[in-house]
Amino acid sequence: MKISGIQRQWWVGAVFFLLMLVLLFLEFYGKIFERGIGNYLKWQNASRPQLGRVWDNDRQTILAQTKVESVRSLFDSRQESAEAIVTLKALFENTEPSFPLVLSRKKFLDLYYDFPGQWSARIISPFELISIDSKYNWTRVLLKRFGQWFTISFLDSHNIPVHEVFVATDALKEVQSTRTVKQGSLEKVGFDQDRVYSAAVFLPLLRTLDPKTQHAVFPNPRWFLAKDYSITRIGVRELEFSKKTLSDFEFGIEYNTDYYTGVLLIPVSQEIANNLLSQIERTGFDVWGEEFSALAAPPVGDKP
């Protein structure tokens, strides 16, 4: 067999051989082969996949941090939602069997004393609270729901319950528990203008009532005074049939704050409502030595 190309062009072979020699020389002294591949790989590094142990660790770290973030945000959101609760009743209502609520001592006491009525004191007596406080150093409260019961656990700094109070879920159905607050004037929350009376009429009448009725229709005045709320008017309305589960009538106590007008809604029994209405509506009668005049609503809304 003849290899004519090589025979005819011997110099090609020589050049090739020389080239090989040069390459070997460069490889031996300059590591040209390793450098070339190394630099080529370096050049296209970014386009290659992130494989191997180092990247696995990296990925797992990212995964772990994502999970840590999600666990933390869930934890935070639970805490925030507990701290965002504005009434004691809402606190109980937001306690699901699978999600106990934890709130700070301050928040619990704020809600406890902020309830516009005697209901909070009926659930836990303030004397019981002060007795717990005198014996133990409690920092937080854990609220759990189990069947027909709520458990209020007073926790020390190690999360150990130092005292527990059990409250039946039926307590949420008591008339007193349903007191709520709404923003807006009496008319806006659904009271008829002809059943709206001036505070000047109502408050003197309130003073003449026996303590039990007073508690039934009005919170402790501290509730208004401490918040700097000024009472303006009082309204009475009969509840719609669908809402007449616990009471028939509802009192609305309108007040002005620095920023808005609000109404405290207090459900009352028919007997109390009739009794009060009959006294208020003695037309033209100067009940407490002052002229009964104002059925018309005073100006409401934001104060300047």
Residue 168's beta-bridge partner residues?
Answer: 149
Stretch of 33-41, 193-201, 284-292, 293-301 lying at the interface with other proteins (CB under 8 A): 33-41
The rounded distance, in Å, linking the Cα atoms of 219 and 255 is 13
The rounded distance, in Å, linking the Cα atoms of 95 and 101 is 6
Stretch of 51-59, 167-175, 223-231, 232-240 lying at the interface with other proteins (CB under 8 A): 51-59
Residue with Cβ nearer other proteins (22 or 86) = 22
Which of 189, 197, 260 shows the shortest CA–CA distance to 228? 260
Stretch of 60-68, 120-128, 195-203, 236-244 lying at the interface with other proteins (CB under 8 A): 60-68
Q: Alpha helix locations (H) across 137-198?
A: none
- H-helix or E-strand spanning residue 75: helix 53-83
Instruction: Give all strands of the β-sheet with 249-256 in edge-to-edge order.
Output: 180-183, 261-268, 249-256, 230-238, 196-198
Exactly one of 9, 15, 61, 298 binds other proteins (CB under 8 A); that residue is: 61
Smallest separation, CB 296 to other proteins (Å)? 55
Exactly one of 15, 63, 86, 130 binds other proteins (CB under 8 A); that residue is: 63
Residue with Cβ nearer other proteins (8 or 207) = 8
Exactly one of 15, 22, 67, 243 binds other proteins (CB under 8 A); that residue is: 67
Q: Which residues, at least 6 apart from 199, have a Cβ–Cβ distance to it below 8 Å? A: 231, 232, 233, 234
Residue with Cβ nearer other proteins (75 or 285) = 75
Which of 181, 188, 180 shows the shortest CA–CA distance to 300? 188
Residue 166's beta-bridge partner residues?
Answer: 151
The rounded distance, in Å, linking the Cα atoms of 117 and 123 is 12
Residue with Cβ nearer other proteins (65 or 193) = 65
Stretch of 47-55, 103-111, 121-129, 206-214 lying at the interface with other proteins (CB under 8 A): 47-55
Which residues of the chain form contacts with other proteins (CB under 8 A)? 3, 6-7, 13, 16-17, 20, 31, 34-35, 37-39, 41-42, 45-46, 48-55, 57-58, 60-61, 63-65, 67-68, 71-72, 75-76, 100, 102, 142, 146, 153, 155, 158-161
